[in-house]
Structure 1
């Protein structure tokens, strides 16, 4: 009888009713009945029931889904000290509601008492602390993570490590991940220098945490604490990408675009992963997709697609994408040509620090010339503050603006001063410009020796214009000794970069009369290259070589063609040569 009464009383105790309600809630056909029982217990003050009611509202289990009510009951359970309630509330307060519509995209329009804003990472940290102190390993890992990477008022690197270690010892993979994150986010440590953190990251990745897998791929790709291993990086990125980690999808796609030691590029698969990441908002992936379409490498390439992807990346302040979008607008590729839009995106790229855009912008300012000066209302970048702060590229652009009077009064002396600063800081275009200014006495006393120094320096850095000018100085022995071999090397570099005048000069050097052994076969080769590139003097010399058979058989038909091309470009000697050919042909026919 005592046993019977004890069982009867137990069946109607709050704890027993709570267990019974939870069982009903999990039963598909009786979940509403279970929720009703839990609701009564929650209103009577049972903390565990309050937590379960919150979950039911948030998940729509046994009751229509209501984030408003879910937050209300979760906050009530957390305030009463429910450990999992504290942890859940911390997670909820870290979510940035899309379109400001509240948790999971649906409002809390009226926040519960004690919650002043949403999201609130500082408040989330405090709730995570209460759950961590309650012994919940997942909460310990979250608390450690927030102490390592959260808002500055709550950061505590030493405490972060302690809590993550505690979670890891309890067998929580997120604790291992937190250890790695705390190490990687430490400002006084290089990534990968803590072997314990690297080992923790490997454990977290092996346990299946996709964020850890992405981070491990990053360490392998960059050689941080692990041997640089592209294949390993690719494998870890692939695993994380398959679980939806957006930056892993972007990096995996980028690696697939590269030529591997043991495999070719896989553009089709790369495009698939980049598209997923790009549609999810990854700006690097969007920029790479723009490149694929602009270069005609995508599965269905198109300039309009390039514009779309570059714009996605540019709208997220991707500097290179801004510059490429400017280029498409300038040339009317995939979109109607629009100089104003081209200038807008080029300026934006320069503001974001893209060095090539800054150089392009300076060139555009020069090209505008009188147009920019005649329209003073046209907004132009102000390079002065950044130049004064020591930015060498800004100094170069300021010098260009001062030199040509674009957006300000022309001042050649100040232009030369700023150009010299930029050149000494290693801006290649500035090295070339400064060399030309010294060569011509433009804003600075003429100094051919120093001019040659700066032009040769820019040439060594691969600037084709500098190669051509420096080669001419070497050829003529200006600013230093005559150096025909050096001139030859500089012209070859410029020719390989497509400079037609350098091709002509190579032909002339190999043709004889210089401090080099003549080689007319090579001379013919370079005259032909220059002629095909549109250089009129190359066309003239090629015609002469062919009409006289200077490096092979005579070919009067081709000779006449190239001489006519040169004559059309205004080379007077070509017209004289054609006249001689005509007289010779008439004499032979008589």
Structure 2
């Protein structure tokens, strides 16, 4: 459970499931919702239609027109397309420019992505400030990131109580990494009262969503009967699930148990 070996802040870059706009279908769905509003920007609607049809060059052109009119969602989408090189030449400077425009208007995803941009540049103070804004907008993965920064002391003095607070908010939104981190804190009693039972509860929630670290730790709890009844079958099951996802400790553990397993 040593964070020194864990990756840092999570980003919502291209192609992962955390972003509202990481797939064509999600952009189209959001466009359909906004199209019913008389206040929706017509260039934005055209951009959504073009994107849904796979006409990314036209989508960029329409999103840019709306972005130049101050439409925050279009500014954010334009930034992601520049990041991806989708319908336009990849340009991180333009991506950052439009991302900031949207972030300054309170667009939570833009704020969180801008936070990550500062984080990768090792400007933890700015990363924390923008992440905090996104977290206050109830964006789960920003809440998780904010908890991680509190835990590691990046951009802010380390504070496990604050880390637990933000992890819990994200965990209650069913964010598996936050559930796993909150379980870690319960397991070692940092920022929350020590409780193997609570650790098992949160590990189980994250494990059920496929979080390999939580699966491995849940297997560990079942093996030693910590917070749950000792159950070798359950221990083996969760350890194996983690191993199937490439969890190195789980793979080593399974090899050590081979002589006992059928």
TM-score after normalising by structure 1: 0.37
* Residue deviations 1:96-137 (CA, integer Å, cap 9, x gap): xxxxxxxxxxxxxxxxxxxxxxxx949956975x959xx975
Q: Which sits farther off after the overlay, 178-187 or 339-348?
A: 178-187
Structure 1 counterpart of 2:232? 339
Relative to 1, partners in 2 of residues 1:138 and 1:248: Cα closer, same or farther, differing over 3 Å?
farther
Structure 1 counterpart of 2:75? 176
Counterpart mapping for 1:212-251 below 5 A: 212-223=110-121, 228-251=122-145
Counterpart mapping for 1:452-463 below 5 A: none
Matched, 1:264 2:157: yes
Relative to 1, partners in 2 of residues 1:164 and 1:327: Cα closer, same or farther, differing over 3 Å?
same
Query: Residues 252 and 273 of structure 1 are in contact (CA less than 8 Å); yes or no, is this contact kept in structure 2?
Result: yes
Counterpart mapping for 1:382-397 below 5 A: none
Query: Residues 137 and 170 of structure 1 are in contact (CA less than 8 Å); yes or no, is this contact kept in structure 2?
Result: no
Take 1:125 and 1:289, find their aligned partners in 2: how far apart are those partners? 33
Structure 2 counterpart of 1:329? 222
Q: Give the Å deviation of 1:211.
A: 1.6
Query: Residues 137 and 172 of structure 1 are in contact (CA less than 8 Å); yes or no, is this contact kept in structure 2?
Result: no
* Residue deviations 1:134-189 (CA, integer Å, cap 9, x gap): x97535336536766x6xxx333322211210111222121111111223344799
Relative to 1, partners in 2 of residues 1:142 and 1:256: Cα closer, same or farther, differing over 3 Å?
farther
Structure 1 counterpart of 2:105? 207
Take 1:358 and 1:333, find their aligned partners in 2: how far apart are those partners? 21
Take 2:165 and 2:229, find their aligned partners in 1: how far apart are those partners? 28
Relative to 1, partners in 2 of residues 1:320 and 1:174: Cα closer, same or farther, differing over 3 Å?
same
Query: Residues 81 and 88 of structure 2 are in contact (CA less than 8 Å); yes or no, is this contact kept in structure 1?
Result: no
Take 1:287 and 1:202, find their aligned partners in 2: how far apart are those partners? 31
* Residue deviations 1:259-302 (CA, integer Å, cap 9, x gap): 34x75311111111110100101111001001111112132220
Structure 2 counterpart of 1:60? none
Q: Give the Å deviation of 1:310.
A: 0.7
* Residue deviations 1:503-545 (CA, integer Å, cap 9, x gap): xxxxxxxxxxxxxxxxxxxxxxxxxxxxxxxxxxxxxxxxxxx
Query: Residues 252 and 270 of structure 1 are in contact (CA less than 8 Å); yes or no, is this contact kept in structure 2?
Result: yes
Query: Residues 138 and 174 of structure 1 are in contact (CA less than 8 Å); yes or no, is this contact kept in structure 2?
Result: no
Structure 2 counterpart of 1:141? 44
1:158 counterpart (57, 67, 79): 57
Relative to 1, partners in 2 of residues 1:361 and 1:147: Cα closer, same or farther, differing over 3 Å?
farther
Structure 1 counterpart of 2:172? 279
Counterpart mapping for 1:511-530 below 5 A: none
Take 1:327 and 1:142, find their aligned partners in 2: how far apart are those partners? 51
Take 1:233 and 1:146, find their aligned partners in 2: how far apart are those partners? 34
Relative to 1, partners in 2 of residues 1:289 and 1:131: Cα closer, same or farther, differing over 3 Å?
closer
Q: Could you tell me which runs of 5 or more consecutive residues in structure 1 were left unpaired when the two chains were aligned.
A: 1-93, 95-119, 373-377, 379-590
Take 2:196 and 2:71, find their aligned partners in 1: how far apart are those partners? 49
TM-score after normalising by structure 2: 0.80
State how many pairs are aligned: 238
Q: Give the Å deviation of 1:361.
A: 1.4
Counterpart mapping for 1:455-474 below 5 A: none
Answer with 1 or 2: which has the greater Rg: 1
Counterpart mapping for 1:169-568 below 5 A: 169-186=68-85, 193-223=91-121, 228-260=122-154, 263-366=156-259, 368=260, 372=261, 378=262
Take 2:218 and 2:88, find their aligned partners in 1: how far apart are those partners? 38
Take 1:297 and 1:318, find their aligned partners in 2: how far apart are those partners? 21
Take 1:314 and 1:296, find their aligned partners in 2: how far apart are those partners? 20
Structure 2 counterpart of 1:8? none
Take 2:108 and 2:175, find their aligned partners in 1: how far apart are those partners? 17
Q: Could you tell me which runs of 5 or more consecutive residues in structure 2 were left unpaired when the two chains were aligned.
A: 1-19
Tell which has more relative contact order, 1 or 2 (C-alpha 8 A, sep 6+). Answer: 2
The secondary structure found in structure 2 opposite 1:257 is: helix
Relative to 1, partners in 2 of residues 1:361 and 1:142: Cα closer, same or farther, differing over 3 Å?
farther
Take 2:255 and 2:82, find their aligned partners in 1: how far apart are those partners? 42
